[in-house]
Chain A
Amino acid sequence: SQQGEEDPQALSIQEGENATMNCSYKTSINNLQWYRQNSGRGLVHLILIRSNEREKHSGRLRVTLDTSKKSSSLLITASRAADTASYFCATGASGNEKLTFGTGTRLTIIP
């Protein structure tokens, strides 16, 4: 069953601009993660934020988590052509290693 839903489904921006994508989920979580998938490849883990955290940074990535609204956002600053990919949020619950993935946001960076 799908837990996360990303918004928007697709996003095109100019190189150098910031990209923001959002994720909403339905049930209680232990953590929320973001993954990137380049066309036709496997997913790559980007960042994990725990349910007791509100914001986390990693390089040009900033993730926020609002557990009261059951939502998260991923901000990519100063976008580059290489950031063109699909981005997925995934939620994890306590007690097991399973994740539930959303349907993804397809990001296109226009050079």
Chain B
Amino acid sequence: DVKVTQSSRYLVKRTGEKVFLECVQDMDHENMFWYRQDPGLGLRLIYFSYDVKMKEKGDIPEGYSVSREKKERFSLILESASTNQTSMYLCASSWQQTQYFGPGTRLLVL
């Protein structure tokens, strides 16, 4: 079974802090994704990566950056957290267009 893990289930940060969300997959998938999920808005793609060190902006990349130094790990970085980044963050990896999700990180920015 594919396993995608995320570093934290719940996270509370203060405005202006730098925040790292980590995602690890164990199936050697080339493609990995970061989404945020907000009520009524569904899942919105922040960034995705199609190979090590390769990344592409999604629909809402502003205020975020990503890092993929190893194939199994895809990190989402909030350079300076703001209250409007309070959300559920979901990581996924994919194979043949089927996506496998981690359990999510619920981030609260105060």
Binding site for B on A (CB under 8 A): 1-2, 30-31, 33, 35, 40-45, 48, 88, 90, 92, 96-104
The answer to the question of B34 belonging to the interface, with a C-beta cut-off of 8 Å to chain A, is no
| B104 to chain A: closest residue by CB | A42
A11 to chain B, nearest CB (A): 16
Measured in the bound complex, the distance between the Cα atoms of B88 and A44 in whole Å is: 16
A61 to chain B, nearest CB (A): 15
Binding site for A on B (CB under 8 A): 4, 31, 33, 35, 40-43, 45, 48, 50, 58-59, 88, 90, 92, 94, 97-104, 106
B50 neighbours in A (Cβ, 8 Å): 96-97
Central interface residue in A42, A88, A102, A104, by most chain B CB within 10 Å: A42
A40 neighbours in B (Cβ, 8 Å): 88, 104, 106
| A44 to chain B: closest residue by CB | B101
25 contacts between A and B (CB under 8 A): A2-B41, A33-B98, A40-B104, A41-B104, A42-B4, A42-B90, A42-B103, A42-B104, A43-B90, A43-B99, A44-B101, A45-B98, A48-B97, A88-B43, A97-B48, A97-B50, A97-B99, A98-B33, A98-B58, A99-B97, A99-B99, A101-B35, A101-B43, A102-B42, A103-B40
A100 neighbours in B (Cβ, 8 Å): 45
Given contacts A31-B97, A43-B43, A43-B99, 6 further A-B contacts (CB under 8 A): A33-B97, A43-B90, A97-B99, A100-B45, A102-B42, A103-B41
**A92 engages B42 (CB within 8 Å):** no
A44 to chain B, nearest CB (A): 7
**B48 engages A98 (CB within 8 Å):** yes
Known: A40-B106, A43-B90, A97-B31. A2 touches B99 (CB 8 A): no
A110 to chain B, nearest CB (A): 22
B77 to chain A, nearest CB (A): 20
